[in-house]
A and B are shown apart, each in its own frame.
Chain A
Amino acid sequence: MLGLGLGLAVAIPISFLQIFAPQPFRLLASAYERVLRSIPLLVTLFLLFYGLPSFGIRLAPFTAAVIGVGLRSSAYQSQIFRGAILSISENQFRAALAMGMNKIKAFRHIVMPQALRLAIPPWTNELTIVLKDTSMAFALGVVELVRQGRYIIVATREPLLIYLTIAAIYLILTLLSNNTLGRLEKRLRIPGIGVEERAR
């Protein structure tokens, strides 16, 4: 959850940079996105947790996990927002300006409401992905679901059962979150606005 929030906080400025900023910033933002999307999350996590101490920056496993998941998610989310904003046609913006709105108002009242709706399905998807990716924080020794499971396994010697239970818990979490956001999407839906979603 924290990871997703951080991702969101970073993603919005990045997507703005990519669309509105002058060329060098735009390039930088694109590179940020491309690099983070090309490197496995695990490697990012290891760089943060084991790598940064070389510079005297020591992060708690939990902090490192939140930052890692957040950074990675920000790259994907900025792509989602960029896509959503760009898919609102230039004409909508121009029509708003023609009505006498200034650029900021046009963006705030015309483009954003449409773009945010468009972003919901892929964003839901992203939430599921982040949820599942938190299991990778296991590698850093964060005591979360999987690790809890391993403690119990040591005690009970029933690995399959325990892992299946963990799987079931994740399944319920993803189904629940998909369901909730799916309903949100339906509530906010306006006929004629819709997008295809990224699937993973």
Chain B
Amino acid sequence: MTFWQVVQHSWGPLMDGLQVTIQLTLLSIVFGLALGLILALGKVYGLKPIRWFCTAFIEIIRGTPLLVQIFIFYFGLPPYGIRLSPLEAAVLAFSVNSGAYQAEYLRGAIQSIPSGQMQAALSMGMTRWQGIISIIMPQALRRVIPPWTNEFIYLLKYTSLAYIIGTQELMAQARFVASRNYEYFHTYLFAALIYLVVVLVFSEMFSWLERRVKIPGFEYHK
């Protein structure tokens, strides 16, 4: 088969897979963001035990391979009565993993906001919590956009690992198709092209968004 024929034959299943890949990425990035926010706030503003716990959690997750984390959620839990579907285990593993990375980006952004901002907020009668919500976080979140978009792209690529536990995403579909038509090179090349296009599209979309929400004084260079 020529490359073009392979594309035509595998279009359906690979597009199905792409859908799952994007679903997996979006769910994980959103849950990861929620977790990352909690971890980052805990690490910066928490009491000592909380700060310590958040730091340890982040370091452990960042210091271990994603693959091992996926295995822990999928193979490691059933003996304890927790049985997750491949998609659930994958979303959970990616969320936890991405949460730890996002927490670090957020922490960096929070700590890059000058301390005078909190002082000014307190001095006008805001509580500490109001200062965090109305003054620090709106600035930190703007600063975190560039690393956050990078994280999105990383996560999108790393979701390909989910095929190992049988999540029906793009990679799994490519393997399935290739094992039937024996056109390994062309099929994987097509999968690679799909990833390439999707990554480029998201990158462009993010830089467009970035320009849209830009505020003077928050210019950043990648």
Contacts and interface: CB of A to CB of B under 8 A. Distances in A.
Q: Do these two chains interact?
A: yes
A135 B65 CA distance: 7
Contact of A163 (B68, B150, B164): B68
A41 B157 contact: yes
Contacts of A52: 185
Interface in B55-82: 59-60, 62-69, 71-72, 75-80
A101 interface: no
Contact of B157 (A40, A146, A157, A175): A40
Interface SS of A by simple majority: helix
B42 to A, nearest CB: 19
B171 A42 contact: yes
For chain B, which range describes its interface: under 10, 10 to 19, 20 to 34, or 35 or more residues?
Answer: 35 or more
B161 interface: yes
Given A135-B65, A135-B68, A40 B160 contact: yes
B64 A47 contact: no
B71 A164 contact: no
Nearest to B147: A199
Interface stretch (A9-17, A18-26, A102-110, A165-173): A165-173
B80 A146 contact: no
Contacts of A139: 164
B68 A146 contact: yes
Interface in B80-105: 80, 101, 104-105
A47 B171 CA distance: 12
Contacts of B188: 43, 46-47, 50-51
Given A39-B195, A40-B160, A170-B63, A160 B76 contact: yes
B53 interface: no
Contact of B185 (A39, A51, A170): A51
Contact of A42 (B101, B161, B186): B161
Contacts of B189: 47, 51
B196 interface: yes
Given A47-B189, A50-B184, A166 B68 contact: yes
A138 interface: yes
Contact of B184 (A54, A128, A198): A54
Interface string A161-200: 0011011101100110000000000000000000000111
Interface string A98-126: 00000000000000000000000000000
Interface in A45-69: 46-47, 50-55
Contact of B65 (A38, A39, A170): A170
B192 A43 contact: yes
A43 B185 contact: no
A135 B184 CA distance: 22
Contact of A55 (B65, B68, B164, B185): B185
B102 to A, nearest CB: 10
Given A39-B192, A159-B76, 9 more contacts: A39-B195, A39-B199, A46-B188, A47-B189, A51-B185, A54-B186, A136-B65, A136-B67, A174-B62
Interface of A: 35, 38-44, 46-47, 50-55, 128, 132-133, 135-136, 138-139, 146, 153, 157-160, 163-164, 166-168, 170-171, 174-175, 198-200
7 nearest CB pairs, A to B:
A51-B185, A160-B76, A135-B65, A40-B157, A40-B160, A38-B199, A50-B184
19 contacts: A38-B153, A38-B199, A39-B157, A39-B195, A40-B171, A46-B171, A46-B175, A47-B192, A54-B185, A135-B65, A135-B68, A139-B164, A159-B76, A160-B75, A168-B64, A170-B63, A171-B60, A171-B64, A200-B154
